[in-house]
Amino acid sequence: CLLGGAFMALMRFLMIGFVATLFAACGDDDSSFATRPSGDSSSSDVILSGDSHDNSAGSSAGSSGSKSSSSSGVTPKSSDSETSVSSSSSVTGRTSCDVNTDKNCFMDSRDGQTYKTVTIGTQTWMAQNLNYAYTDVPYKRLDYTSDSTSWCYKDSASYCTKYGRLYTWAAAMDSVGTWSTNGMGCGYNKTCSPTYPVRGVCPEGWHLPDSTEWATLFAAVGGLSIAGQKLKFATGWTTKSGITNEDAFAFSALPTGGRDYYGSYDGEGNYADFWSSTEDGSYNAYYMFLYYYYGGAHLGYNGKYDGFSVRCLKD
């Protein structure tokens, strides 16, 4: 598994390099990414990154041509222009806010946790990752079922406090219908027809963004090629010469890493992955990811069984 994770990380690195070259050649055009995919994995009009995630789990499940993957991230070999930094020493994490005094703060009535919010263009986003402990249905790795599973990074509660929780796509969609029926039945090895907007695991009045809503965010912060630098928290990320993380719009994306199909956690400091409510066939769903090595933002597709972060968008 460790060798597989290292290989996948190398693939992520190579693919992002390819995308950077593609952007340089073609320019930064958001208009072609405004269409929700049909579910056909050959569709590329919403793929901003040419997703670099991949692993053998999808193929072992019988997905022909599946792009499903592990979230395992391994820092590419360092050079003098790259410095690995410990996010635990430079990121304060999910600090609370006061709903009585701060208009950009709200409380999740389900568990009393508070979240900072930020308005960017026409959208209002959570400025912190969701941390709702949604664990009603146990995760069963061998048959890929994961209807309502979430984890703390490295199974440590301190990471939930710092980064929020990691959810399978089925859990992010609330496939068991605990809060709404809009994403009911959506999960791994099945296709669904969600009713947009999909509340999913989000608090009342909020929803899981679809791929077009992520594209709207990218456009609002200046376009794909610079969106990563604009959205990443200013500290905590592995540094790369020539890339300055500005957090210019207070979106404050932290380098959370993720959880793969095999239960391994990796990538803290190097990347952040966020689910969308847009499906890409039976085995994959679209997600937004940020990578320390590149200043842009990306929208690709990934195996539904991995554990990614959730950012909710106000209805």
The DSSP-derived string for 159-182 is HHHHH--EE-HHHHHTTT-SS-ST
Give the position of tokens 């390099």: 17
Q: Sort strands 239-240 and 258-259 into parallel, antiparallel or unpaired.
A: unpaired
* Alpha carbon separation from 235 to 244, 272, 274, 312 (Å, rounded): 10, 13, 19, 22
Tally Cβ neighbours within 10 Å of residue 263.
12
Q: Which pLDDT value is given to residue 315?
A: 97
Considering the entire predicted model, what is its pTM? 0.75
Mind listing the pLDDT tens digit of every residue in the chain (315 residues)? 434 444 444 444 444 444 433 333 333 333 222 222 333 333 333 334 334 443 333 333 333 223 333 333 322 323 334 444 433 334 456 778 999 999 999 999 999 999 999 999 999 999 999 999 976 666 665 555 555 578 999 999 999 999 999 999 999 999 888 899 999 989 888 899 999 999 999 999 999 999 999 999 999 999 999 999 999 999 999 999 999 999 999 999 999 999 998 889 999 999 999 999 999 999 999 999 999 999 999 999 999 989 999 999 999
Order the strands of the 123-126 sheet from edge to edge.
105-107, 114-120, 123-126, 313-314, 206-207
Report the distance separating Cα 86 and Cα 125, nearest Å: 27
Task: Name residue 117's amino acid.
Answer: T
Q: Which pLDDT value is given to residue 107?
A: 97
Q: Which pLDDT value is given to residue 27?
A: 35
